[in-house]
Amino acid sequence: MSRQRCRFVAVFICSCLVALSAALASSEIPPELVGTWDCASFQAIKNGKPFGKILFKPGQWTLILNADGTYLEKLPLKAQLPSGDSHDAAGTYEVHKHDLKMKPANRGRDLKYDFKVEQDGKVLVLTDKNNGTILNANRE
C-alpha cells in the first residue's frame, strides 16, 4: 500500500472515531436528570393557552429515570383498576441536549419532550413536543 493511501486510511479512521465520540458525548444522560421524580402537576394546553391543570399528591405518579437509559413510570390509574392490573410503563429513553425521547416497551408511540431541570436540580419540567402540555415533577 502506498504512503498516500495509508495516510488517507489513517485520516479516514481518525475522522470516524472523532465523529463517533462526538455522537456518543451528545447523547450522554445528564446526571441531574437521573433519579426518582414525583409528578406534581400536569398543565393542559389548548390553542397555545393553558387549559386546565391537574395536581397530584406525592407518590401518585412517579417517574424513575435510570442512569442506564431505562425508565419506569408508575401511573395514577393503577389504583383505579379493580382487577389490580398494572398501568405502569417501562421503556428506554434518550437525551440529546434538552430533548428527551421516551420509548415505551409495552404501549403506544414514543414520547418526545423538551426538558429543564430547575431550582438547583429539585424540579423537572417536561414540555410535550406534540401538544405543549407541561408536566412538573419534584425530585424525591
pLDDT averaged over 10-residue windows placed end to end, the chain, 140 residues: 50 38 57 96 89 89 95 71 62 95 87 96 95 94
Q: What is the pLDDT of residue 8?
A: 41
Residue 83 near residue 63 (C-beta atoms within 8 A): no
Structural domain harbouring 128: 31-139
Q: What is the pLDDT of residue 13?
A: 46
My answer on whether 101 and 120 are in the same domain is yes
My answer on whether 86 and 99 are in the same domain is yes
**How many domains is the chain partitioned into structurally?**
2
Residue 126 near residue 137 (C-beta atoms within 8 A): yes
Q: What is the pLDDT of residue 77?
A: 58
Q: Which residue bears the cell 456518543?
A: 24
